[in-house]
Structure 1
Amino acid sequence: MTLRADWLPALAAFEAAARHQNFAHAAEELHLTASAVSHHVRKLEERLGMPLFQRHARGVILTAEGRRLADAAGSALSDVEGTLQALRKGRDDDQRVRITTLHSLAHTWLLPRLQDFTTRHPGVRLMIDTEVTLTRFDDGGPDLGIRHGPGHWPGLTAHHVMDDALIPVADPATAAGVSCAADIAKLTLIGDHARQGWADWFRAAGLHGVQLNLGHSFSDSTDAMEAAARGLGVALSREKIVGPWFDSGRLRQLPGPVLPTRWRYHIVYPSHRPLRPVARLFVDWLLETSAGERQRR
Structure 2
Amino acid sequence: MVIRPALLPALAVFAAAARHQNFAHAAEELHLTASAVSHHVRKLESLLGTTLFQRHARGVTLTPEGRQLADAAAAALADVSAVAGNLRPDAGTRVLRISTLHSLVHCWLLPRLPQFCAAHPEVRLEIDTSPALARFDEGGPDLAVRYGPGHWPGLVAHHLMDDAMFPVASPRLPGVAGITDPRQIASLPLISDLTQQGWREWFRAAGVRGVRLPPMHSFSDSTDAMRAAAEGIGATLARRHLALGWLERGDVVRLPGPTMQARFAYYAVYPAHRPLAPAASKFIDWIKQQAKEAPWADAPERRPPGARRRKAREEAFLTRP
TM-score by length of 1: 0.68
Aligned to 1:17: none
Aligned to 2:270: 269
CA shift for structure 1 position 131: 2.2
Superposed counterparts of 1:120-159, under 5 Å: 120-159=119-158
Measure the CA separation in 2 of the matches of 1:242 and 1:276. 32
The alignment-based identity, stated in percent, is 52
Superposed counterparts of 1:223-238, under 5 Å: 223-238=224-239
Bigger Rg, structure 1 or 2? 1
- Give yes or no for contact 2:181–2:256 (8 Å, CA) kept in 1: yes
Corresponding residue SS for 1:146: strand
Measure the CA separation in 2 of the matches of 1:140 and 1:287. 25
- Give yes or no for contact 2:169–2:252 (8 Å, CA) kept in 1: yes
- Give yes or no for contact 2:219–2:225 (8 Å, CA) kept in 1: yes
Measure the CA separation in 1 of the matches of 2:181 and 2:89. 61
1:140 partner amino acid: G
Query: 1:56-85 deviations in whole A, cap 9, x for unaligned?
Result: xxxxxxxxxxxxxxxxxxxxxxxxxxxxxx
Superposed counterparts of 1:41-190, under 5 Å: 87-88=88-89, 91=91, 95-174=94-173, 175-190=176-191
Query: 1:100-154 deviations in whole A, cap 9, x for unaligned?
Result: 0010000000001011111111121111100222111112210010001000000
Measure the CA separation in 2 of the matches of 1:191 and 1:290. 26
Corresponding residue SS for 1:249: coil
1:288 partner amino acid: Q
Measure the CA separation in 1 of the matches of 2:98 and 2:167. 30
Measure the CA separation in 2 of the matches of 1:160 and 1:123. 26
Q: Which stretches in structure 1 are left out of the alignment for 5+ residues?
A: 1-85
Superposed counterparts of 1:15-34, under 5 Å: none
Query: 1:217-264 deviations in whole A, cap 9, x for unaligned?
Result: 100111111111111110111111112211211111111010010000
Measure the CA separation in 2 of the matches of 1:214 and 1:239. 24
2:189 partner amino acid: T
- Give yes or no for contact 1:190–1:214 (8 Å, CA) kept in 2: no
2:284 partner amino acid: V
Aligned to 1:258: 259
Measure the CA separation in 2 of the matches of 1:135 and 1:229. 31
Q: How many aligned residue pairs are there? A: 210
Measure the CA separation in 2 of the matches of 1:133 and 1:253. 32
Aligned to 2:208: 207
Aligned to 1:285: 286
Corresponding residue SS for 1:246: helix
Aligned to 2:319: none
CA shift for structure 1 position 180: 1.2
1:268 partner amino acid: V
Measure the CA separation in 1 of the matches of 2:293 and 2:191. 33
CA shift for structure 1 position 215: 2.9
CA shift for structure 1 position 273: 0.7
Measure the CA separation in 2 of the matches of 1:147 and 1:126. 17
- Give yes or no for contact 1:191–1:214 (8 Å, CA) kept in 2: no
1:210 partner amino acid: V
- Give yes or no for contact 1:169–1:254 (8 Å, CA) kept in 2: yes
Corresponding residue SS for 1:286: helix
CA shift for structure 1 position 88: 4.1
Structure with more helix by fraction: 1
Measure the CA separation in 1 of the matches of 2:287 and 2:192. 30
1:147 partner amino acid: R
CA shift for structure 1 position 96: 1.0
- Give yes or no for contact 2:142–2:280 (8 Å, CA) kept in 1: yes
